[in-house]
Amino acid sequence: MGLTLKDIQIRDPYVVPADTEGKYYLFGSTDKNIWGPGTGFDGYVSKDLEHWEGPYPVFRPEEGFYAERNFWAPEVYAYGGRYYMFATFRRRDNDLLGTAVLAADSLLGPFHPWSDGPVTPKEWSSLDGSLYVDDESQAWMVFCHEWQQVADGEVCAVRLTADLREAVGEPVQLFRASQAPWPTPFVSARYQRDNNYVTDGTFMYRAANGHLLLLWASFIHGTYALGVARSESGRLAGPWVHEEKSLFSADGGHAMIFRTFGGRLMLAVHTPNKTPDERALFVELEEQDGKLGLKES
């Protein structure tokens, strides 16, 4: 008997529809305690988004792997005839987060390290990298420069080599969290600052009318939430204009968008934002004139 989403503890859900198979592949942060030692990542497979088979071990670290804890947010992309996983790990050598690239020949792996450690800057605490390929076929990693290091969290982008193995040049900042009207400062007992603003969980989406949108998560009065920014130029460089209100504010975030085989536009988030209760939630979206909204049931 298959599993339902209620049976699967997962954060940062990422869905890959495989058209030729008529199946959906679900990835995410699947360790029972993602704040501690890392086991790896598991995947799940479904034909209807309701009943799931798994878990399948899609990544397990080999001996000598550069990280031991905080295995987060795997995103899987078909690119150049292979599958690439962008995932965040806490480095053993400097205790900072970074997003690395892994590769495999099939969706269920096994995935193996492809980049030489994280491709985000070594001296930065960075997380939640996503792949974006621009109109000139240039590959980028869009990622978050963590608020714990910079207080006012940033969303940044760095060019990648064509094989996705390395960064090219220095990262560029797209925006800071405080530039958006909807998040509020994040209160932290550890970081006694009044200007903490969180950025995490980036995802790029090209709307039907050509607008380039960027989903990202933060907090509203301590509750996890999701917002949308739009590039006025239609290019990654922006400038980025933020929606006044959050898209989802019911203690859910780190979202991505996928389309069902039946053509429905779906938002995937995890909620609640509390371990071990987090589960994947799929919500249908409406898109009109480059703007996204939750479809009323």
- Numbers of helices and strands, H then E, in the chain: 1, 20
**Looking at residues 240-253, what average pLDDT do you find?**
97
Quote the percentage of the chain above a pLDDT of 90: 95
Query: What is the band of 1 on the pLDDT scale with cuts at 50, 70, 90?
Result: low
CB atoms within 10 A of CB 177: 29
5-294: CATH topology: Tachylectin-2; Chain A (2.115.10)
Contacts for 82 with CB less than 8 Å, ≥ 6 apart? 103, 104, 105
pLDDT of residue 284 exceeding 80: yes
Name, in order, each residue with C-beta under 8 angstroms of 151's C-beta and a sequence gap of 6 or more. Answer: 191, 193, 195, 196, 197
pLDDT at position 188 = 79
| Mean pLDDT, all residues of the chain | 96
| pLDDT recorded at residue 54 | 97
Domain ranges of the chain: 5-294
pLDDT tens digits, residue range 168-193? 999 999 999 999 999 999 987 777 67
pLDDT band at 30 (very low <50, low <70, confident <90, very high): very high
What is the predicted pLDDT for the residue at 189?
72
Whether the per-residue pLDDT at 280 is higher than 80: the answer is yes
pLDDT digits (tens, 9 = 90+) for 101-160: 999 999 999 999 999 999 999 999 999 999 999 999 999 999 999 999 999 999 999 999
